[in-house]
A and B are shown apart, each in its own frame.
Chain A
Amino acid sequence: MAKLTIISAVNDAIRTAMKHDPRVVVFGEDVGKKGGVFGATDKIQQEFGEARCFDTPLTEDGIVGAAIGMALNVLRPIAEIQFQDFIYPAFDQIVSELSKFRYRSGGQYTCPVVVRTPYGGGIRGGLYHSQSGEAFFCHIPGLQVVIPSTPYDTKGLLLSAVRGADPVIFMEPKRIYRDPSLAEEVPEEWYEVPIGKARIAREGSTISVICYGAMVPVCLQAAIEAEKRGISLEIVDLRTLLPLDEDAVLASARKTGRVIVVHEAPKYCGLGAEISALIAEEAVDSLEGPILRVAGFDTPFPNALENYYMPDARRVTDAVDRMMAF
């Protein structure tokens, strides 16, 4: 087994998928010779040829639309959108077509398309290379929305997505793409991590912290801080946002009775709202305090001040303090 970072796990998953399944094709802007602007498809074209890994003209709308057509004609497309911020030209294809082909055709036509896209801040990309738009996609029945936070999950979830029957928006936390502290052993062969299942990233008993993607390491750091003060955080890494693992969320909420939801996306109408509502509906009698949210500001994403925009361990710790003072 090799020690991989998240970005190399993406690359490894793509290679594994292409080896196992000749229907898998990979395309997007700069995925060929350059191997993707983040290197996700590094050497894939070299290994599998231009027929299976190819650059597209600069049209996200075309990329997703063509991926749908390829899937209808029984390929297994993995389309890359270079930055999640640039997925919006494809919004119509995603919202009106990708998510609804199965439904509108009574199951006669299906679109098992994987749209991979790096999301989130922390790379000094300003307002158009930093966004976390997951909530838009979570509002679209028919889609699955997946966000891994570890190399192992990245490969396993991506392979599940490729094998699955339904479309997946696969959002990759680019800030921690290369984080060496997250590198871990990843099996070389095909394995799957199921879509729709959360993971307990750290067991705890005082407060449940529900998070995903690049916020998982932030929350784990806050857990170390909290432990020094005798407060035990349980870190729930959602891994899939749609469909949500309601059982895992509710089990943790019932166990600790205190919940903080953390995400980088704006707070208003973010995933935190949905998760809070779920817990309020199903587990309010277990709660010992209000559900708190730590999130990005309800503003566009800044550049110079990005480190103040994104939740960090101190903002999570502050929420922990407020929770304990309740």
Chain B
Amino acid sequence: MTTNPIDYKRVLDADGAPVAGETVPAIGRDLSLRMYRGMCETRMLDGKMLILQRQGRIGFVGTAIGLEAATIGSGAAFDAKDWIFPALREGGVAVYRGMPLLEYVGQMFLNIYDTSKGRQMNNHFQHAASNFVSWSSCIGTQLPHAVGAAHAARIKNENTVMCAYLGDGATSSPEFHSAMTMAAVWKAPVVFVCIDNGWAISVPSSRQSAAPSYGSKAEAYGMPGVDVDGNDILAVYRETLNMIRRARAGEGPGLVALKSYRMLGHSSSDDPTKYRDAQEVEMWRRRDPIERYRKYLLSLGWLDKISDEKIQKELESEIDAAVEANANAPRLALRALVEDVYSSVTPHLRAQHDELIRVLEQFGDPAAIEGRFPL
């Protein structure tokens, strides 16, 4: 990228004070606190999952630590009827929209509470009831899906807007190009939310693209793009909502690029010290999105020490209860091997399943699940 300064939209300064001349979104106390709770819940879930991972109770965690303003701020701007096509780190948005913690944690344990039936890798959340669509690990594949779903909404005369999340890395995928092209040509009601967290595993976002900024990528496709301070939840919310309103009014798609930072490794199997500077991480630690928003809420008197502690305690006991319930959950039945390949289990697959059962009965079942995921 060039060294020209990028105009990152901001509402709050580094200390959580409104920036002079910037419009603070008029969201009121309840929603403001709900978003705060969502950020804290996301962080606490990540922390608890990391502990479970270190204890060897779950296999893999890819956290959103440092990205809570970007995920929750954008996610909160969409309506319940809108659909979310997530990428790896938007699990907090699923919970914000109503995914039960029991299912969230179940997805990490890969047991009967996991609605994907233990098939997906960890951190691949879905919640159909709140229109949070199943994601595949294949980076970028969800983007044209969001465009198609948005176009369908137009054809059906529905007033729905689709949210397509992606990382900085995903902007290099062929699907990004296809999706941006089609969305703009069709004027599809879709908002692309690109979370530039500084890294695609070990590749810095500055080496992922030579465009002046991630937001600037929109222009050549014929849609508006905006670069936002992704650690400023109010700016994230405001700018995402602007794009959503345009899309809902039939004015077409937009790209919201959120500049933030992945505080931990790519996942629990990654050692980021191999490729990045501790000083850079330190610098971003001082820009913590939750701290910044907390200061803002404290300054308004919408939050105080006591109410904050209450929120943290509530979250902790809710998450602990979900972990507890999951720790004792039954394992998946072997049937899950052959279900959902087609609308019904074909005779061919039934025979393969029965054959396995026969072998297991004959030889006994060691069952111990071994092996760890490298990334």
Contact = CB atoms under 8 A, between A and B. Distances in A.
Nearest to A89: B174
Interface residues of A, number: 45
Contact of A303 (B119, B349, B362): B119
A109 to B, nearest CB: 24
A305 B118 contact: yes
A315 B356 CA distance: 8
Nearest to B348: A298
For B119, B367, B368, B370, the residue with the greatest tally of chain A CB atoms inside 10 Å of its CB is B119
A285 B137 CA distance: 48
B136 interface: yes
Contact of A61 (B121, B137, B174, B201): B174
Contacts of B121: 124-129, 303
Interface residues of B, number: 57
A251 B250 CA distance: 69
A309 B337 contact: yes
A307 B118 CA distance: 12
Contacts of B200: 29, 58
Contacts of B372: 123-124
Contacts of B137: 85, 126-129
A34 B120 contact: no
Interface in A261-281: 267
B76 interface: no
Interface stretch (B62-70, B142-150, B203-211, B217-225): B203-211
Contacts of A302: 118-119, 336-337
Contacts of A124: 59-60, 121, 369, 371-373
A56 to B, nearest CB: 8
Nearest to A54: B207
Contacts of A304: 110-111, 114, 118-119, 331-332, 336, 369
Nearest to B353: A297
B373 A123 contact: yes
Given A57-B208, A318-B363, A37 B119 contact: no
Contacts of A61: 174
B349 A58 contact: no
A307 B359 CA distance: 13
For B202, B209, B362, B373, the residue with the greatest tally of chain A CB atoms inside 10 Å of its CB is B202
A12 interface: no
B138 A88 contact: yes
Contacts of B275: 32-34
Interface in A187-239: none
Interface stretch (B165-173, B288-296, B297-305, B311-319): B165-173
B374 A303 contact: no
Given A29-B200, A62-B172, A127-B119, A318 B359 contact: yes
A160 B169 CA distance: 33
B375 interface: yes
A187 B374 CA distance: 28
B124 interface: yes
B102 to A, nearest CB: 17
Given A55-B207, A124-B60, A297 B352 contact: yes
A103 to B, nearest CB: 25
Contacts of B44: none
Interface string B242-274: 000000000000000000000000000010001
A124 B208 CA distance: 28
A128 B135 CA distance: 11
Interface string A114-126: 0000000011111
A299 interface: yes
Interface in A146-172: none
B338 interface: yes
A80 interface: no
A128 B359 contact: no
Contacts of B336: 302, 304-305
Contacts of A126: 119-122, 124, 137
Interface in B48-86: 59-60
A59 interface: yes
B331 A37 contact: no
A48 to B, nearest CB: 17
A104 to B, nearest CB: 23
A125 B118 CA distance: 11
Contact of B110 (A30, A59, A303): A303
A175 interface: yes
Contacts of A175: 371
Contacts of A136: none
A35 interface: yes
B341 interface: yes
A86 B363 contact: no
A99 B352 CA distance: 35
Contacts of A297: 337-338, 349, 352-353, 356
Nearest to A299: B341
Contacts of B169: 57-58
Nearest to A309: B337
B162 interface: no
Interface in A89-131: 89, 122-129
Interface of B: 59-60, 110-111, 114, 118-122, 124, 136-140, 169-170, 172-175, 200-203, 207-209, 270, 274-275, 331-332, 334, 336-338, 341, 348-349, 352-353, 356, 359-360, 362-363, 367-375
Given A58-B140, A267-B352, 7 more contacts: A32-B275, A37-B270, A57-B203, A58-B203, A127-B136, A298-B349, A317-B363
15 contacts: A34-B201, A34-B275, A58-B203, A59-B174, A62-B172, A125-B121, A128-B136, A128-B137, A297-B338, A297-B349, A298-B341, A302-B118, A304-B119, A305-B118, A317-B363
What 4 pairs between A and B have smallest CB-CB spacing? A304-B118, A126-B121, A34-B202, A128-B137
